[in-house]
Structure formats: structure tokens, C-alpha cells
Structure 1
């Protein structure tokens, strides 16, 4: 299954974001999955003050990752990152079974 992970980490250092992405990527590859890409989207202000792990956050380091894995690994990654005190928010979305099904589903209509 193809999954898309979008996360917001605390604003401290880039090494924390790198470590979070490396941990998730290692879990995926050790279980036989594939990391398609990982992008750092930059430091951005949050749309509203977010309180998590007994702290208030006004800005965060945003990142994006696409990966293939089985549902159990996806659930393990979500549980691990949700409990990580360096993370503010985490979202994982199922994008489809594979890239071929995605291209068929979102193919533009032929022009006449």
C-alpha cells in the first residue's frame, strides 16, 4: 500500500527532523517497505497555537514522506511518532495500492 506521511516537528534543530525521518525510514525498510521520497517543507508558523506534550507551539518544521509498506508497519510508525515528544502533529493517508492505480485514477480527461 502506498502511504503519505505529513508531519510537523518542534522548531529546535534540523538534526531532530533528520532523526525523525531516519527513524521512520529505517522502520519501513527493515520491514520490507520502500521509501519513495522524503521532503523537508521548511519552518513555518502554525495556523493556530498547538498544545502537545504539555508545551505550546507557534511554529514547526514541516516534512513530507511517501512510502510503500504493509498496514501494520504504517500503524507502528504512527504510534511511534505520535508518542515522540519532538512531534507536534502527524498524519498518514492511504494513497492507494500502488503508483499505477493512482495514475489511472487521476488521469486527465482527453481533450477534444
Structure 2
């Protein structure tokens, strides 16, 4: 089955992508070790969150977003989600099933393109 994981990692001071890379690498290694396939990882960078969030006794106003698309069994998807969610550097993580039949997922790319346009996002993001 094809899954898409959307993860929000805390933004370090000064902003450093090493934490994001480590978390993405951990998730990717789990998927590969269990016989899954990572289709791609897209780094969207830091953004303001829609509302402030408290996690691990810290308040977060922004987070570094990345998306990973992968093929794996439901058990592997649960393992990845649970492992990533307990990392104290994570703010939020969500996994969405994009399809389970080949005809549904054959044309899905590994990366997720998103054009940053001020008119589309509203004034709250910039």
C-alpha cells in the first residue's frame, strides 16, 4: 500500500536541518528494513503553524515540514508512525493511505510539489 507521511519537526535555534534529516533517515531505515520502499522525501521547510501547539512542555509556533511517500504493509506503517511520534523533536505526524491497488497508485510521484504563493496561503503565513 502507498502511504504519505506528513511530519512537522521543531525548528531549532539557529535553524538547522540536521534534526529533520535524522528523523527522515530513521523513518526511511525502518521502512527499508521491513521490506518497504521509500518513493521520495520532500522538504517543505519551516512554516508557521495554524495555531500554537504544546508538545513536551514546550510551545511551538512554527515547525519544519517534510513529506515522505512510501510503499509498505499496514504493520510497517504503524511501526513508523509510532516510532516517529515518540521522538521529542517531533511536533506532529500524520500518515494517509493513498491507495492499495496498483491502478490507484501507479501514477503517483515520489515528491510533492507545492508552489508558495502569498495569495493562496493568506497573510497569516508570511
Alignment TM-score > 0.5, same fold: yes
Determine which of 46, 49, 54 is the counterpart of 1:46.
Answer: 49
Count residues with an aligned counterpart.
104
1:19 paired to 2:26: no
1:85 paired to 2:88: yes
Residue ranges of structure 2 left out of the alignment (5+ in a row):
108-126
Deviation at 1:16, TM superposition (A): 0.2
Deviation at 1:20, TM superposition (A): 0.3
Find the counterpart in structure 2 of residue 74 from structure 1. Answer: 77
How far, CA to CA, are the matches of 1:14 and 1:99 in structure 2? Answer: 34
How far, CA to CA, are the matches of 1:99 and 1:51 in structure 2? Answer: 39
Find the counterpart in structure 2 of residue 61 from structure 1. Answer: 64
What is the SS of the residue equivalent to 1:84? coil
Higher strand share: 1
How far, CA to CA, are the matches of 2:4 and 2:10 in structure 1? Answer: 20
How far, CA to CA, are the matches of 1:73 and 1:87 in structure 2? Answer: 19
Residue ranges of structure 1 left out of the alignment (5+ in a row):
105-112
Q: Aligned-pair RMSD on alpha carbons?
A: 1.4
Give me the TM-score of the superposition, normalised by structure 1: 0.88
What is the SS of the residue equivalent to 2:35? coil
Deviation at 1:98, TM superposition (A): 4.5
